[in-house]
């Protein structure tokens, strides 16, 4: 074999089609016969629907109209619970909730007409905050507003407080964050009772959509076909929400008998789709006089919005990551997701962990201060090491060296020298510089027994020329799935990377390799590729067509002969859980994840005291992620995540008014531009994971966890001020400085 593909930065599989503009996203596909659909939404956050009125001078009888009554199957979004209707019937639980669908061949007319459908409602009092929901100011969901709760217990925290050297408390908040993929969501559908339903779209998880269409139309899965179109970014935002759009588009298609296209404009996309759950975390921590953790009591609360969507899973990951990569004999995490009358919050890269990681990494700095230790010394005394147990009691068996990662990160960023220099030079300066870090871990793949339940499968097929086609439902959303699958297939089969093709995800053609989420695609599905490739080789060897050693030509001719004789050469691989994983879902105890990625991030900031603007000037990201399959793409994943984390920390604020995002424009929701990102320097350490593809662990979500707290810890260093929330905008810093000045805190 000429050159192993793994570990080498081979060109991205679909790279060429992306730089020429040839690749087709949903809005690029041509459906000349398509008519256009749109959603009529609730004008209030909570209330009763009294009626729908079609007003204005429009040929209303020409419009296709779909209400809940037109739904052939069940009126619900099939996700985890059944609480969310596809179309609201009599109750409204959030602004912009879908009430009715209309379609028309004339796009221009549709745009105007939608403004003239009036939904008459009787308003009721909505609630918008975690606190109001927790206090049951109004009960808007179930009996107590609690969408989901978890409790993690290790030891007994209550035995510790009295005798502890110190007890430190803190309260931390994170805001909603918009995924802001640059391609807005969209779907095209064809549907009829005879042919079933087909949808094409921008999406992460084809089989989630298939599952929801089955329920909505009451037809078998094989009559619900979901086809992926090139997807312009997802970050979790195209995990569950596309099921909503797919359902709406398909219902219009079903009723009209026509192909229906529904592409959101940016304003609609931002106002109605899911965002990162806002959070509120309360920490109470006990330490001994050596600065060792004795007890950690955490209350972790998420704002789930009006319906449960995937909130329970987001809460779960946030819960498990709530005490960070630290060893503590006594831990209690009480986690609750609460309903509010905001549009449902949902998946966003990191899935609850960035929220709880912000809290713990800010809190650890606070505890370090109370202990009289530097942030790094305090952490070094408390890091979790091999042979120790996490909060859920999981025994860490991999080689973990958090202290080593932190040391590397501090060296690469010249942390100590800079910290000392800034402290000296900041005095009297208009620009204050600061440097800070965060240390964290991220569990790879689904939580607990998630992967076992998913039982993913993947196919691989050869043609007579020895070209290999990988059949997987995992979608390429920019993260490089196509490329990694090809690398793994090529190296396992010992053939060229160029001889691998990836089938376009289409539920009619590819088996269910699971959703494209949870940093699982390279690690778990990539491993299924390796397993399939081995099965394929085994078939050829069983048929005596291939020896232990072979050239690519011999491989090609073996495929040719096999197919000549058997008609096809195709294998299906299935997930099998690595041995020794035990997870107790009831008590939240056991092996939460098969493996973890570990990291230490350092941020350097400048704060302008004239304008209160924080700019991130340098960023060092050191992480251990198992085998690095593709160095350039892996670095790209980290850099992209860091930029989103910087946004989460100091730029990206969802401004709510009356239950809806009012800055739903790219001009007013501020993500970093090329001028705003720091230089991001990425370093990898590799501890191959035996059950990940070629030793890989997941990396996709990791960078979101630690970036924001690193940035805010740096701002704290620059300004000597406590900041316990993000996004922390200049306006917020101004207010903090004002109140610190009034309370005698802060510098000068």
User: Which residues would be at the binding site for ligand FES (CB under 6 A)?
Assistant: 182, 233, 478
Residue 640 in contact with another protein, rule: CB under 8 A:
yes
State the Cα–Cα distance between residues 746 and 513, nearest whole angstrom: 53
Q: Which is nearer to ligand FES, 58 or 235 (CB)?
A: 235
Question: Do residues 577 and 486 lie in contact, with contact meaning Cβ atoms separated by under 8 Å?
Answer: no
Residue 636 in contact with another protein, rule: CB under 8 A:
yes
Residue 574 in contact with another protein, rule: CB under 8 A:
no
Residue 443 interacts, among another protein, ligand FES, none and using kind-specific CB cut-offs from 5 to 8 Å, with none
Closest by CA to 76, choosing from 189, 212, 209, 203, is 212
Map the footprint of another protein across residues 93-122, applying CB under 8 A. Answer: 108-109, 111-112, 115
Residue 680 in contact with another protein, rule: CB under 8 A:
yes
Rounded to 5, what percent of the chain is helix, strand, coil? Answer: 35, 25, 40
Tokens representing 41 are 């939404």
Orientation of helix 402-412 relative to helix 375-382, angle to 10°: 160
DSSP assignment of 34-100 = -EEEEEEE-SSSSEEEEEEEE-SS--GGGSEEE-GGG-SS-SS--SSSS---SS-SSEE-STT-EEE
Q: Which is nearer to another protein, 192 or 663 (CB)?
A: 663
Residue 506 in contact with another protein, rule: CB under 8 A:
no
Map the footprint of another protein across residues 647-676, applying CB under 8 A. Answer: 651, 655, 662-663, 665-668, 670-676
Map the footprint of another protein across residues 480-499, applying CB under 8 A. Answer: 480
Residue 376, CA atoms < 13 Å, CB-side half-sphere: 19
Q: Provide the 3-class DSSP secondary structure of residue 103.
A: strand
Size of the site for another protein (CB under 8 A): 84
Residue 20 interacts, among another protein, ligand FES, none and using kind-specific CB cut-offs from 5 to 8 Å, with another protein
State the Cα–Cα distance between residues 628 and 461, nearest whole angstrom: 26
Q: How far is the CB of 474 from another protein (least distance, A)?
A: 15
Q: Which is nearer to ligand FES, 243 or 644 (CB)?
A: 644
State the Cα–Cα distance between residues 207 and 474, nearest whole angstrom: 10
State the Cα–Cα distance between residues 276 and 174, nearest whole angstrom: 9
Q: Which is nearer to ligand FES, 105 or 233 (CB)?
A: 233
Binding window for another protein (CB under 8 A); candidates: 154-162, 164-172, 188-196, 627-635: 627-635
The distance in angstroms from the start CA to the end CA of the chain is 66
Q: Which is nearer to ligand FES, 111 or 182 (CB)?
A: 182
Q: Tell me which DSSP letter residue 669 carries.
A: S
Q: How far is the CB of 115 from another protein (least distance, A)?
A: 7
Question: Do residues 695 and 634 lie in contact, with contact meaning Cβ atoms separated by under 8 Å?
Answer: no
Q: How far is the CB of 184 from ligand FES (least distance, A)?
A: 10
Question: Do residues 99 and 87 lie in contact, with contact meaning Cβ atoms separated by under 8 Å?
Answer: yes
Residue with tokens 């056991």: 590
Residue 139 in contact with another protein, rule: CB under 8 A:
no
Binding window for another protein (CB under 8 A); candidates: 19-27, 366-374, 444-452, 576-584: 19-27
The residue from 3, 16, 33, 388 that contacts another protein (CB under 8 A) is 16
How far is residue 370 CA from its own chain's centroid?
A: 34
Q: How far is the CB of 611 from another protein (least distance, A)?
A: 5
Q: Which is nearer to another protein, 56 or 257 (CB)?
A: 56
Q: How far is the CB of 387 from another protein (least distance, A)?
A: 36
How far is residue 313 CA from its own chain's centroid?
A: 11
The residue from 233, 552, 590, 688 that contacts another protein (CB under 8 A) is 233
Map the footprint of another protein across residues 412-451, applying CB under 8 A. Answer: 430
The residue from 343, 352, 466, 641 that contacts another protein (CB under 8 A) is 641
Q: Which is nearer to ligand FES, 392 or 479 (CB)?
A: 479
Q: How far is the CB of 354 from ligand FES (least distance, A)?
A: 20
Residue 613 in contact with another protein, rule: CB under 8 A:
yes
Residues 6 or more apart whose Cβ sits within 8 Å of residue 186:
26, 27, 201, 202, 245, 261, 262, 263, 264
Q: Which is nearer to ligand FES, 182 or 427 (CB)?
A: 182
Q: Which is nearer to ligand FES, 478 or 505 (CB)?
A: 478
Burial 62-81 (b: 16+ CB within 10 A, else e): ebbbbbbebbebebbbbbeb
Q: How far is the CB of 480 from another protein (least distance, A)?
A: 7
Burial 503-514 (b: 16+ CB within 10 A, else e): eebbbeebbbbb
Q: How far is the CB of 323 from another protein (least distance, A)?
A: 28
State the Cα–Cα distance between residues 619 and 604, nearest whole angstrom: 6
Question: Do residues 598 and 383 lie in contact, with contact meaning Cβ atoms separated by under 8 Å?
Answer: no
> In the bound complex, which residue of the shown chain has the CB atom lying closest to ligand FES?
182
Q: Provide the 3-class DSSP secondary structure of residue 395.
A: strand
Q: Which is nearer to ligand FES, 182 or 538 (CB)?
A: 182
Map the footprint of another protein across residues 239-268, applying CB under 8 A. Answer: 265-267
Q: Which is nearer to ligand FES, 181 or 383 (CB)?
A: 181
Residue 32 in contact with another protein, rule: CB under 8 A:
no
Residue 219 interacts, among another protein, ligand FES, none and using kind-specific CB cut-offs from 5 to 8 Å, with none
Q: Which is nearer to another protein, 526 or 703 (CB)?
A: 703
Question: Do residues 699 and 597 lie in contact, with contact meaning Cβ atoms separated by under 8 Å?
Answer: yes
């Amino acid at each position: 074999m000429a050159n192993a593909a793994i570990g080498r930065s081979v060109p991205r599989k679909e790279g060429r089609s992306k730089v020429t503009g040839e690749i087709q996203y949903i809005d690029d596909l041509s459906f000349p016969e398509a008519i256009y659909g749109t959603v009529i939404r609730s004008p209030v956050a909570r209330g009763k629907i009294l009626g729908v009125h079609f007003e204005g001078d429009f040929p209303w009888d020409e419009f296709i109209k779909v209400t809940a009554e037109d739904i052939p199957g069940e009126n619900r979004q099939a996700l985890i619970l059944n609480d969310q209707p596809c179309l609201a019937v009599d109750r409204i639980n959030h602004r912009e909730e879908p009430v009715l669908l209309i379609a028309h061949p004339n796009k221009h007319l549709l745009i105007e007409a939608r403004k003239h459908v009036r939904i008459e409602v009787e308003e009721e009092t909505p609630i918008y905050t975690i606190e109001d929901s927790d206090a049951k100011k109004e009960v808007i969901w179930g009996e107590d507003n609690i969408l989901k709760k978890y409790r993690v217990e290790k030891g007994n925290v209550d035995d510790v407080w009295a005798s502890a050297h110190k007890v430190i408390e803190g309260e931390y908040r994170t805001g909603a964050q918009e995924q802001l993929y640059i391609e807005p969501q969209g779907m095209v559908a064809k549907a009829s009772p005879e042919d079933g339903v087909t949808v094409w779209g921008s999406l992460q998880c084809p089989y989630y959509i298939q599952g929801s269409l089955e329920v909505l139309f009451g037809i078998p899965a094989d009559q619900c076909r979901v086809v992926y179109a090139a997807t312009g970014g997802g970050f979790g935002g195209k995990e569950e929400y596309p099921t909503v759009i797919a359902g709406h588009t398909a219902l219009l298609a079903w009723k009209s008998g026509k192909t229906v296209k529904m592409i959101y404009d940016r304003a609609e996309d931002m106002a109605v789709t899911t965002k990162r759950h806002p959070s509120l975390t309360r920490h109470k921590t006990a330490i001994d006089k050596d600065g060792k953790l004795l007890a950690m009591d955490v209350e972790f609360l998420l704002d789930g919005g009006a319906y449960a969507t995937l909130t329970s899973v987001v809460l779960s990951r946030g819960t498990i990551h709530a005490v960070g990569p630290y060893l503590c004999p006594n831990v209690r995490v009480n986690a609750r997701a609460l309903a509010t009358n905001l549009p449902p919050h949902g998946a966003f890269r990191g899935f609850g962990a960035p929220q709880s990681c912000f809290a713990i990494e800010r809190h650890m700095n606070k505890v370090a201060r109370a202990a009289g230790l530097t942030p790094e010394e305090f952490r070094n005394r408390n890091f979790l090491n091999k042979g120790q147990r996490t909060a859920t009691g999981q025994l860490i068996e991999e080689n973990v060296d958090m202290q080593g990662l932190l040391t590397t990160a501090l060296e690469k960023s010249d942390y100590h020298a800079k910290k000392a220099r800034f402290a000296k030079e900041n005095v009297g300066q208009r620009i204050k510089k600061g440097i800070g870090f965060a240390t964290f871990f991220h569990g790879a793949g689904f939580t607990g027994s998630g992967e076992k339940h998913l039982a993913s499968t993947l196919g691989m097929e050869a043609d007579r020329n020895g070209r290999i086609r990988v059949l997987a439902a995992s979608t390429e959303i920019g993260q490089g799935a196509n490329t990694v699958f090809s690398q793994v297939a090529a190296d396992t089969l010992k053939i060229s990377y160029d001889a691998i093709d990836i089938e376009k995800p289409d539920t009619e053609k590819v088996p269910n390799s699971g959703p494209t989420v949870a940093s699982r695609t390279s690690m778990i599905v990539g491993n299924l590729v390796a397993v399939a490739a081995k099965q394929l080789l085994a078939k050829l060897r069983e048929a005596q067509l291939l020896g232990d050693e072979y050239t690519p030509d011999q491989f090609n001719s073996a495929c040719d002969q096999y197919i000549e004789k058997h008609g096809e050469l195709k294998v299906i691989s299935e997930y099998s859980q690595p041995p020794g994983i035990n997870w107790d879902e009831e008590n939240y105890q056991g092996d939460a994840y098969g493996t973890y990625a570990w990291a230490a991030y350092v941020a350097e900031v400048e704060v302008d005291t004239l304008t209160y603007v924080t700019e991130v000037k340098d960023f060092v990201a050191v992480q251990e992620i198992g085998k690095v399959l593709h160095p350039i793409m892996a670095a790209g994943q980290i850099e992209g995540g860091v930029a989103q984390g910087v946004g989460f920390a100091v730029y990206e604020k969802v401004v709510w008014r009356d239950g809806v995002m009012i800055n739903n424009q790219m001009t007013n929701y501020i993500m970093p531009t090329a001028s705003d990102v720091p230089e991001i320097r990425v370093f990898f350490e590799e501890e191959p994971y035996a059950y990940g593809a070629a030793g890989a662990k997941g990396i996709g979500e990791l960078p979101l966890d630690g970036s924001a707290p690193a940035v805010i810890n740096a701002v704290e260093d620059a300004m000597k001020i406590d900041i316990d929330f993000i996004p922390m905008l200049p306006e917020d810093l101004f207010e903090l400085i004002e109140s610190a000045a009034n309370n005698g805190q802060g510098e000068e």
